[in-house]
Each structure stands twice: as structure tokens, then as C-alpha cells.
């Protein structure tokens, strides 16, 4: 049972609002009709909480994977979907997850498919989750698709945890180095301004010192604050632009062409595509339908477009490897294995093995990149601090030599 907030109109034309506890919106509308009320809007009621941010906080991947696994276990043991969702609502430890599950249950009870109900919460369920559950619903293997989705989420969280752990030290270096450099320029350099102005009257200051003094004046004035605000606004604007279709296409296309990071992004997207396509084919989903679903789950708009184009060619009688190799995004060795697998009629097994191999390659590439990033950051931060020190000491050395 869930609480619904409604707005209805009575026989006199007056608006009436209130709360009703029921299983679904349809039940609420039926109850309102029995009361001679015309329903205008019926929405799940939001629970009030003294800790408001708890409802809007991020749901951890561990909790999401555990929820999907529990739902899969319930369905596998014969529990109906609505009853399974009700059990999860009662057992969920997070208030926001309870609210989301309640809304999903309400939508399912009204006739929506599970993936359609989940799509209303796209900030919690990503494209990969929705695509696999959608395939499981359409292919009659929902229980297995929920279990596989939980496994994918756990594997992805493990990889993200590895990335966060590997990047923790470089991030600390960059933040600490930036703070030290800004403190030196804003608070330490102005103490030498009077001495440098006297030296400038007696001669010419080095270019590095002049640039440092000008930078200190800008950052230490109101222009520095405006510059910080403008930078923050630009970062927010760019982030929003990256979520638009055009922005995603440009960003994803650029990511695949980067000299060092490009192969890493491309291998990760190819791995997701191969794993999902192999899973769908193994569970009996037709090739064209499987390509449509897996193209949305690749995580790269450019690769997804190439996959959808290949689906159009397959519908005219071409093999999968021909149009995919023409796009030039998937590595040649992967295309060779796909071509041979098509001839041997074991494409679904080969796609899973390809995904496993690409995941291992991505892990090795990450390790190599982290080992390169650490000394590179040290050199950048060291160069910035060295510039400040040299710019401060050059006039002193010149003054000493003149004496």
C-alpha cells in the first residue's frame, strides 16, 4: 500500500485535495469516483523527513545491485512481481530506495513493464540496467536479466573503485600543488612588491618576475574572485552541454580519438557492447532486437550510432562483421574474432570471451596510465612552484651581482 496525493473536483466545481492509501493510481481513481469526485491529478505522496537530503542522496551501487539480486531471487522462487516489489519496499534500508520502489510498484500495477517503470528514475537506473531488464522482459528471462544486471553493476563498481583508488594519490597531488601555488602567488608574492618596485626604478625586472607580479595582482583583486566565479559557471555550463545529444556526440567522438585515453574509452565501450549482445543472443533475443538494445548500452553515442547502422545493413542480408568493421571504431582483432564466430555459429560465446579479454586489457591500461600520471603531475606542480621561486629570486640575484 502506498500514499497518494490527489486533486479532484466535487459536484459543485470546487477543488478538493487530500491523501489516499491504495495499491495503485487506478485504485485511487476508483475510490474518488465512488466519492463522487472527479480526479484531476493523482501522484505518489512524498514523505516528509527532517533530514531532507536523505531523499535526494545518491543510492550506492552496492544497494542497487543487492536490490536487483533480491528481486531476481524472489521471482525465481515463484513470487509475483508486485508482491516481490512490496517485500523489497519493506526490507529496503534506505528511505529514498523505498520511495523509488513504491513508485515502480505503482506504475507496474497500472500496466507498465518493469523497465518502463524504472525509466522514470533515470538518475538511479542507467541505460545499461534498463536495456538488460528490457531485454529480459521481452525475451521472458526477467529473473536472469536482473541477476546479470546486478553482476554488471558489481563489476562496474569494482572497476570504478579501482580507478578511484588509483587516482586518489594523483588527485591529492594536483589539489595540494594547486593550493600551494595559489597561496604563494596571492599571499607571499605581494610582500616582495615594494622591493621589486624599487628595483624596477633602478633597472628592468626579469620578464618572469613581471608576469608573476601581474598574475598576483589579478588573483589578489576582485578580478580574481570574478575569474573564479566565471570558471565555476563555465564548468557547470560545459557539464550541462555535455548531457545534450549534440554535446554527447561531440564528446564521445573526441574521447575515441585521444592519443592515450582514446583506446581505453573505446575498449570499455566495446566490452559493454559485446557482453550485452552476447547475453541477449544467448537468451534467444533476435539479432536485430539485440543490436538495438546493446547499441543503447555501449555508453558511447558514436559507437551506438555505428551499431544501429550495422543493424540496418543486417536487415538487408549482410553479416554483423561487415558493417561493424566499416565503421572503423572496433579493433581489428575483435572484428576478426566476430567474423570467425559468425561462420562457426557460436557468436554469443565468443562475444562474452571478447568482453572478458577487453576488460583485462582496460585494467592493464589503467595501471599503466596511473603510473604515468603520477610523475607527470609531479612535474607540472614542481614546474609551477619552481616558476614562482625563480621569478622571486632572479631580481635578488641581479641586485647581488650589481652590489
Compute the distance between CA of residue 394 and CA of residue 210 in angstroms, rounded to an integer: 11
Do 298 and 383 reside in the same domain of the chain?
Answer: yes
Do 174 and 310 reside in the same domain of the chain?
Answer: yes
If you search the block for the grid coordinates 515463484, which residue do you land on?
A: 78
Pairing between strand 15-22 and 38-44? unpaired
Do 397 and 332 reside in the same domain of the chain?
Answer: yes
C-alpha cell at 289: 532486437
Split into its structural domains, the chain has a count of: 3
107: in domain = yes
pLDDT at 339: 81
Do 150 and 189 reside in the same domain of the chain?
Answer: no
Do 143 and 202 reside in the same domain of the chain?
Answer: no
183: in domain = yes
Do 109 and 248 reside in the same domain of the chain?
Answer: no
Q: What are phi and psi of 39, to 5 degrees?
A: -70, 135
pLDDT at 233: 92
pTM of the model: 0.64
Task: Give the domain extent around 240.
Answer: 166-403
Do 74 and 7 reside in the same domain of the chain?
Answer: no
Compute the distance between CA of residue 118 and CA of residue 149 in angstroms, rounded to an integer: 13
Do 266 and 300 reside in the same domain of the chain?
Answer: yes
Short-list 116, 111, 148, CA closest to 130: 116
Please report how the helices 142-183 and 127-138 are oriented relative to each other, as an axis angle in degrees rounded to 10.
180
Do 315 and 255 reside in the same domain of the chain?
Answer: yes
CB distance 45 to 3 below 8 Å = yes
Q: Which residues have a Cβ under 8 Å from the Cβ of 257 and sit 6 or more positions away? A: none
Alpha carbon 62 to its chain's center = 16
- Within a 13 Å sphere around the CA of 123, how many CA atoms are in the beta-carbon half? 8
> Last residue of a domain, which of 132, 155, 178?
155
pLDDT tens string 319-377 = 677 767 776 777 778 888 888 887 777 878 888 888 888 888 888 887 777 777 778 88
Query: Sign of the C-alpha dihedral, residues 326, 330, 336, 342?
Result: negative
Alpha carbon 108 to its chain's center = 26
What are the residue ranges in the chain where pLDDT is below 70? Answer: 1-3, 18-19, 21, 23, 45-57, 199-203, 313, 315-319, 323, 327, 398-403
Neighbours of 185 (CB within 10 A): 23
Amino acid at each position: 500500500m502506498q500514499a497518494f496525493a490527489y486533486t479532484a473536483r466535487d459536484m459543485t466545481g470546487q477543488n478538493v485535495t487530500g491523501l489516499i492509501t491504495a495499491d495503485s493510481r487506478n485504485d485511487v481513481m476508483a475510490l474518488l469516483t465512488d466519492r463522487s469526485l472527479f480526479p484531476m491529478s493523482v501522484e505518489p505522496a512524498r514523505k516528509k523527513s527532517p533530514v531532507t537530503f536523505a531523499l535526494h542522496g545518491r543510492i550506492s551501487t552496492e544497494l542497487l545491485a543487492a536490490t536487483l539480486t533480491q528481486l531476481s531471487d524472489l521471482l525465481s522462487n515463484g513470487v509475483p512481481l508486485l508482491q516481490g516489489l512490496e517485500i523489497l519496499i519493506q526490507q529496503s534500508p534506505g528511505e529514498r530506495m523505498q520511495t523509488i520502489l513504491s513508485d515502480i510498484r505503482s506504475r507496474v500495477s497500472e500496466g507498465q513493464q518493469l523497465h518502463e517503470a524504472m525509466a522514470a528514475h533515470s538518475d538511479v537506473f542507467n541505460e545499461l540496467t534498463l536495456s538488460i531488464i528490457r531485454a529480459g522482459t521481452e525475451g521472458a528471462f526477467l529473473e536472469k536479466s536482473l541477476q546479470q544486471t546486478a553482476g554488471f553493476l558489481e563489476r562496474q563498481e569494482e572497476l570504478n573503485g579501482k580507478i578511484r583508488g588509483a587516482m586518489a594519490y594523483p588527485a591529492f597531488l594536483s589539489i595540494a600543488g594547486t593550493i600551494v601555488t595559489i597561496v604563494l602567488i596571492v599571499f607571499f608574492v605581494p610582500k616582495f612588491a615594494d622591493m621589486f618596485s624599487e628595483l624596477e626604478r633602478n633597472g628592468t625586472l626579469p620578464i618572469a618576475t613581471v608576469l608573476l607580479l601581474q598574475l598576483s595582482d589579478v588573483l589578489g583583486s576582485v578580478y580574481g574572485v570574478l575569474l573564479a566565479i566565471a570558471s565555476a559557471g563555465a564548468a557547470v555550463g560545459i557539464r550541462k552541454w555535455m548531457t545534450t545529444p549534440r554535446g554527447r556526440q561531440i564528446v564521445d567522438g573526441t574521447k575515441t580519438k585521444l592519443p592515450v585515453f582514446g583506446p581505453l574509452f573505446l575498449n570499455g565501450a566495446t566490452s559493454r557492447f559485446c557482453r550485452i549482445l552476447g547475453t541477449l543472443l544467448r537468451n534467444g533475443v533476435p539479432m536485430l532486437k539485440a543490436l538495438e538494445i546493446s547499441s543503447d548500452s555501449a555508453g558511447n553515442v558514436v559507437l551506438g550510432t555505428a551499431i544501429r547502422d550495422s543493424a540496418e545493413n543486417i536487415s538487408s542480408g549482410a553479416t554483423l562483421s561487415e558493417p561493424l568493421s566499416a565503421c572503423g571504431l572496433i579493433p581489428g582483432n575483435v572484428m576478426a574474432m566476430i567474423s570467425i564466430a559468425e561462420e562457426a555459429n557460436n557468436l554469443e560465446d565468443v562475444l562474452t570471451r571478447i568482453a572478458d579479454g577487453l576488460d583485462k586489457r582496460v585494467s592493464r591500461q589503467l595501471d599503466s596510465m596511473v603510473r604515468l600520471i603520477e610523475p607527470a603531475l609531479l612535474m607540472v606542480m614542481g614546474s609551477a612552484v619552481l616558476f614562482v621561486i625563480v621569478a622571486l629570486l632572479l631580481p635578488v640575484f641581479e641586485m647581488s651581482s650589481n652590489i
